[in-house]
Amino acid sequence: MAPALRDKVHGTIMEIENHYHELTEVFEPCAPENRPGFRLMDRFAAQVSFNDFKINMENEVLSVTNRKIELDALIDELKDDEPAVYCGTDASLPANIRHQAASVYLIYRQGDVVHRARYIASRVTAPDAELYAIRAAIVKACSLPDVNNITLFTDSIASARRAVNPSVHSGQGHSLAVCRALEQWFANGGRSVTFVMVHSRFEWGPHHEAHEFVRGLPPVGGRRMATSLDNLRMKATATCLDSWSTMFQNKKYRGHNFLLLQNLDGGIVQLTYEVFTLPHGFL
């Protein structure tokens, strides 16, 4: 297509053509770790567990208090377990788009910090940065001697589940690294890893220490920052919403009979969007 004609053609395909070069992430759709029947969770599902938690909004104070008691009891058990290590992970996204995200982890053994590290995560979304932190913590913990149990405290259980999913997704490279490390580590038998959900608002234990650790990292810029797939998707969504909101101010676009709704503060409800996932086999 000639350049003059290309400038006149609009649509999703042309948008991809214009922006795909910004994506620096590399994917492995045929990675050995992604073969059906050979995936980490196909072979070692019994050795990987997720301790999720959702706050009961009907009795929020009691729900949070009970969860903290449960977490404190878990930490006491881990401190008395010599072959066990536990990790706190967290990530930080900058307010300035010219800066890069950061990911950190702290690894504890019998109550003492045995290793900690901070990494620049490039131009990514919050789940991508959390996934990076989880990857770094798991890979390091698997390399420590005489460890039979790894417990990781995170405020993103979704990123933890993605960490053991080798399929193609944003941050797949981190997931493949986690799967490879755990597959070798599980080979000895009798080993397990547990991902524990800790809300940031708890300001609790290893996770809060990781939160404070990542805050100590000064903003880092860069001319050609690596960019994840989800970051480009987020950017495209923001651009679409901005354009949509601008066009909606025109009565000819929205129609003269459109009912403008007001929020509780008296302002006009702004346009937004939601993603709906159809059940498997629905179509």
Give DSSP secondary structure letters for the chain: --HHHHTT--SHHHHHHHHGGG------TT-GGGSTTTSHHHHSGGGEEEE-----GGGHHHHHHHHHHHHHHHHHHHHT-TTEEEEEEEEE--SSTTS-EEEEEEEEETTEEEEEEEEEEEB--HHHHHHHHHHHHHHHHHHSTT--EEEEEES-HHHHHHHT--SSSTTHHHHHHHHHHHHHHHTTSS-EEEEEE--GGG--HHHHHHHHHHHTSPP---SS--B-HHHHHHHHHHHHHHHHHHHHTSHHHH-TT----B-TTSPBPPP------PPTT--
Q: Which of 212, 227, 242 is the last residue of a domain?
A: 227
Q: Which domain holds residue 233?
A: 1-23+228-283
Q: Are residues 216 and 249 in the same domain?
A: no
Q: Are residues 19 and 30 in the same domain?
A: no
Q: Are residues 213 and 273 in the same domain?
A: no
The rounded distance, in Å, linking the Cα atoms of 281 and 283 is 6
Q: In total, how many domains does the chain have?
A: 2
Q: Are residues 223 and 233 in the same domain?
A: no
Q: Are residues 63 and 90 in the same domain?
A: yes
The Cα-based distances of 30 to 48, 151, 184, 278 in angstroms read 23, 30, 20, 26
Backbone angles phi, psi at 29, to 5 degrees: -65, -25
Q: What tens-digit pLDDT sequence spans the chain (283 residues)? A: 787 777 777 776 666 666 666 677 888 999 999 999 999 999 999 999 999 999 998 899 999 999 999 999 999 999 999 999 999 999 998 877 778 889 999 999 999 999 999 998 888 889 999 999 999 999 999 999 999 999 999 999 999 999 999 999 999 999 999 999 999 999 988 899 999 999 999 999 999 999 999 887 776 776 667 778 878 778 777 777 888 888 888 888 888 788 888 888 888 787 776 655 555 444 4
Q: Are residues 49 and 142 in the same domain?
A: yes
Q: Are residues 54 and 6 in the same domain?
A: no
Q: Are residues 43 and 79 in the same domain?
A: yes
Q: What is the CATH number of the domain that holds 96?
A: 3.30.420.10
Q: Which of 206, 227, 248 is the last residue of a domain?
A: 227
Q: Are residues 246 and 129 in the same domain?
A: no
Q: Which of 210, 227, 244 is the last residue of a domain?
A: 227
pLDDT of residue 283: 44
* 66: number of Cβ within 10 Å: 13
Q: Are residues 220 and 233 in the same domain?
A: no
Q: Are residues 155 and 238 in the same domain?
A: no
Q: Are residues 74 and 158 in the same domain?
A: yes
